[in-house]
Amino acid sequence: MRIVINNQNFILHQSGAAFWEEKKMLLISDVHLGKVTHFRKYGIGIPKEAIFENFSRLKTVLEIFNSETIVFLGDLFHSKINTEWDFFVDWIKERSQKIILVEGNHDIISKRYYTDLNIEIYNELIINGFSLTHHPTDSENYFNFCGHIHPGIKLKGLGRQFLSLPCFFLKPKQLIFPAFGEFTGNSYIIPTENDKVYAITKEGIIEVEIN
């Protein structure tokens, strides 16, 4: 789904990524690489094959969009380095795009590991009137792109049925990205009349009518 913000065009993808057409920039938040291995280490029964799901999703979205830059809006890696870091290094070596990480609260790995891979790191990135952060940030001067809260929406159907979906949450001066990574969970938002919600389904993106 294409949306326009401040005269710039963005394509929202059902993976949870968004493509900034004018900048040829792919925006992704909350991948949480290493989380599956972290859970498995502590006895949580997640199939080992799930480790590669995030890389499969990244491969898919990169094949769709002709990006020159990839910006991760924080929480790229879930915690300390584990074996998934090696898969990430291999993935980076195959990339031709410029890679940027806007640090999140889970990004505790030493910056040296990222700079050794030519990944640029920022606390906040300002581009053409947009502020790119991990935590939602209010600003009078910039429109904010962020992640962190893993927004989701609960849709009510007939017979007390509910459908829970991750979503892009658009406020008047902010777009909060859904979590890209597997096993990240959602924080369910309550939109107001000035907000827009773009829910992610298996078929694509749908705009949710706000009553």
The amino acid sitting at 204 is: G
Rounded-to-integer distance, Cα 176 and Cα 106, Å: 17
Give the alpha-carbon dihedral of 57, 168, 77, 182, to 10 degrees.
Answer: -50
126-130, Cβ contacts within 8 angstroms, sequence gap of 24 or more? 127/23, 128/6, 128/8, 128/23, 129/6, 130/6, 130/8
- pTM given for the model: 0.90
pLDDT higher than threshold 80 for residue 203:
yes
Domain 2-208, CATH number (from 1.10.287, 3.60.21, 1.10.10, 1.10.3470):
3.60.21
Lowest mean pLDDT among 1-5, 41-45, 159-163: 41-45
pLDDT > 90 fraction of the chain, expressed in percent and rounded: 64
Mean pLDDT of the chain: 88
pLDDT digits 0-9 by tens, 61-103: 999 999 999 999 998 986 667 778 888 999 999 999 999 999 9
22, 55, 72, 164 from 185: Cα distances, Å = 31, 18, 18, 11
Name the token pair of 160. Answer: 């007390």
Better pLDDT: 36 or 124:
124
pLDDT tens, position by position, 151-172: 999 887 666 677 889 999 999 9
Residue 42: the pLDDT is 43
Domain ranges for the chain, please list them.
2-208
